[in-house]
């Protein structure tokens, strides 16, 4: 018995029953020439059988394309005499030549006259599964056909892929991380700490000193100041060990250097010039406690206000301050104490560079003493910083009297009060009488590189410190390398100056009234008020004596 072939017929239909249409295979009687199988081939035969006919039609070409999509070729059909076309076609069955089932020898075509549409069934020869030579006793299994449904499915997939390539892909929205949400809440993203100018602000240390580090990070600063305890109390609880450890860990995590990037501020209550023994002891105890807190946190710098003479001779008051510093140095091992210049006149110590020089000259351990230069205080005391020429002159004066060796930090503040007013009124950068030009001079002074530069500018409502200080830090950094005649800088300077016009006018009126009052007092012979008014503008240098401090000190680049 010949083996039964596993073949799947391919059906093609015509739109007409007319036997006169030569393109309609349903009315034709076909003769087939049996195809011989070859068992000595070294390669697989092609997937086709040969059936010829004379004419082709559009439907034939469609059928051919369908077969080609399946990896097959349509057989051509032999033309038969017209007389035979009217015959009823009989079924023909084609079997293997040798009964081995190794390949299809013939196909069959049949017509059912009851159908309205003609159909043609063509059996096709499949290639052998392997290209190797077959033995005489072994049948080669044909390669299994893929179903039409699967082929169409793959075609649709390819079309969908092509359409997807033509259509621009919709970007999938990435879900924001917690860190990204926190960064969006900040007006200024955190930057690296490799800048030469270390700009920051006096941030809050509420609920623990460790919070000062993160508060600085939130404003984009790379240096910061803080209070190590309440500045309004003589005694405060010690720093908790866990807060101390967290502070050190956060400083390391955010790449701060506690020895040069952190500048704690001393208590406002302390006056080391106090002549009363009990009060002096109380002030010194509070002062020393701050220094010990610095050492426990690994902080090297500490800034404080020198104090007041309280009506006593200035020379004696300065000596008491220096004596307290010497005792504090002996009680500690590493903290460097910085004297802040002051704005006031009269009994206030430190409003002139000479006061600071005289204190330093009496300190034994000079490497552990320095100066923190406050821009608002200097301007109010009569040291001009506004123009490049005035700034250079003031820096030369500082270098000649104190020396840049002792300059260790800066407080960056504009001034609400006019020049030489001796009023300590801080203003936001660019809005006060100093103006943006003064800070452009500061940000381009090479002698200030690597020094902590701390903003103490006023804030608005609670919670606005992040926005205000972040904006001012970015503004100050933008001034680095900018020449004084830069068009963009001049526009920004004018814009900020206009914002502070009303505030400046108000304080100018107050200052003018004070000047007029002192002028009238001087006419009556009360010269004391006049001397106090002119002290700042003359910078207090006329009566200053010589000192070892400042001799041989570094000179300013200007």
Catalytic residue among 28, 125, 290, 374, which? 374
Instruction: For strands 414-415 and 426-427, give the pairing.
Output: antiparallel
**Annotated catalytic, 329?**
no
SS3 321: helix
CA-nearest of 298, 276, 274, 297 to 287 is 274
**Annotated catalytic, 305?**
yes
Catalytic residue among 28, 125, 128, 340, which? 340
**Annotated catalytic, 507?**
no
**Angle at 158 (CA atoms; ends 152, 163), nearest 5 degrees:** 125
Catalytic residue among 6, 153, 158, 232, which? 232
**Annotated catalytic, 377?**
yes
Cβ count near 232 (within 10 Å): 10
String of DSSP letters for 122-188: E--PPPBS-SSPPPTT-PPPBPPPPPHHHHHHHHHHHHHHHHHHHSPPPPPPPPPPHHHHHHHHSSS
Go through the chain and tell me how many residues it has: 558
Burial class (CB in 10 A: 0-12, 13-18, 19+), 231: middle
**Annotated catalytic, 411?**
yes
Alpha-carbon distance of 92 to 95, in angstroms, equals 10
SS3 337: strand
Contact indicator for 490, 507 with CB cutoff of 8 Å: no
**Annotated catalytic, 502?**
no
Catalytic residue among 261, 305, 320, 507, which? 305
**Annotated catalytic, 531?**
no
Catalytic residue among 148, 268, 316, 538, which? 268
Query: 367 Cβ partners below 8 Å, 6+ apart?
Result: 336
Catalytic residue among 218, 261, 265, 320, which? 265
State the residue for tokens 């006031």: 344
Catalytic residue among 47, 89, 386, 411, which? 411
Contact indicator for 108, 92 with CB cutoff of 8 Å: yes
Catalytic residue among 125, 354, 358, 424, which? 424
Q: Which helix (H) or strand (E) holds 308?
A: strand 307-308
Token code pair at residue 536 = 């700042």
Catalytic residue among 60, 295, 456, 467, which? 456
C-alpha to C-alpha distances, 25 to 84, 459, 532, nearest whole angstrom: 13, 95, 123
Catalytic residue among 89, 377, 423, 504, which? 377
Alpha-carbon distance of 363 to 329, in angstroms, equals 9
**Annotated catalytic, 424?**
yes
**Annotated catalytic, 456?**
yes
Q: Which residues are tagged catalytic?
A: 232, 265, 268, 305, 340, 374, 377, 411, 424, 426, 456
């Amino acid at each position: 018995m010949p083996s039964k072939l596993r073949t799947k017929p391919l059906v093609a239909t015509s739109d007409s029953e007319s036997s006169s249409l030569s393109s309609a295979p349903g009315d034709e009687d076909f003769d087939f020439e049996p195809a011989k199988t070859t068992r000595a081939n070294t390669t697989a035969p092609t997937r086709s059988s040969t059936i010829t006919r004379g004419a082709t039609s559009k439907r034939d070409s469609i059928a051919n394309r369908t077969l080609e999509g399946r990896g097959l070729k349509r057989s051509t059909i032999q033309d038969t005499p017209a007389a035979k076309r009217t015959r009823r076609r009989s079924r023909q069955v084609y079997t293997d030549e040798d009964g081995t089932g190794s390949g299809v020898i013939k196909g069959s075509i049949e017509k059912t006259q009851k159908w309205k549409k003609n159909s043609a069934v063509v059996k096709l020869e499949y290639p052998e599964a392997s290209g190797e030579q077959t033995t005489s006793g072994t049948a080669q299994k044909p390669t299994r056909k893929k179903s039409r449904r699967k082929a169409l499915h793959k075609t649709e997939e390819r079309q969908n892929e092509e359409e997807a390539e033509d259509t621009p892909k919709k970007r999938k929205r990435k879900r924001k991380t917690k860190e990204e949400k926190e960064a969006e809440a900040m007006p200024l993203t955190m930057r690296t700490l490799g800048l030469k100018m270390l700009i920051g602000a006096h941030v809050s240390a509420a609920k623990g000193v460790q919070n000062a580090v993160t508060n600085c990070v939130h404003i984009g600063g790379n240096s910061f100041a803080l209070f190590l305890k309440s500045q309004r109390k003589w005694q405060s609880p010690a720093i908790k060990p866990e807060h101390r450890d967290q502070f050190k860990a956060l400083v390391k995590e955010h790449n701060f250097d506690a020895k040069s990037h952190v500048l704690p501020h001393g208590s406002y209550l302390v006056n080391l010039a106090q002549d009363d023994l009990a009060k002096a002891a109380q002030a010194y105890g509070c002062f020393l406690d701050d220094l010990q807190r610095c050492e426990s946190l690994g902080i090297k710098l500490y800034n404080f206000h020198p104090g007041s003479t309280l009506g006593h001779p200035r020379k004696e008051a300065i000596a008491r301050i220096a004596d307290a510093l010497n005792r504090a140095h002996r009680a500690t091992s590493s903290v460097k104490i910085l004297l802040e210049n002051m704005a006031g006149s009269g009994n206030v110590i430190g409003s002139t560079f000479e006061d600071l020089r005289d204190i330093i000259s009496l300190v034994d351990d000079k490497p552990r003493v320095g100066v923190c230069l406050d821009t608002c205080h200097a301007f109010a005391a009569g040291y001009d910083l506004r123009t490049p020429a005035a700034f250079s002159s003031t820096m030369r004066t500082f270098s000649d009297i104190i020396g840049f060796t002792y300059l260790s930090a800066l407080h960056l503040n504009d001034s609400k009060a006019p020049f030489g007013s001796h009023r300590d009124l801080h203003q936001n950068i660019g809005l006060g009488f100093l103006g943006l030009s003064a800070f452009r001079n500061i940000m381009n002074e090479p002698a200030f590189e690597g020094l902590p530069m701390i903003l103490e500018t006023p804030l608005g409502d609670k919670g606005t410190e992040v926005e205000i200080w972040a904006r001012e830090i970015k503004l100050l950094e933008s001034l680095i390398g900018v020449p004084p005649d830069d068009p963009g800088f001049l526009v920004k300077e004018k814009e900020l100056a206009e914002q502070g016009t009303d505030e400046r006018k108000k304080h100018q009126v107050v200052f003018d009234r004070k000047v007029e009052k002192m002028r009238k007092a001087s006419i009556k012979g009360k010269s004391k008020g006049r001397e106090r008014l002119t002290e700042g503008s003359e910078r207090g240098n006329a009566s200053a004596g010589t000192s070892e401090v400042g001799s041989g000190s570094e000179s300013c680049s200007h």
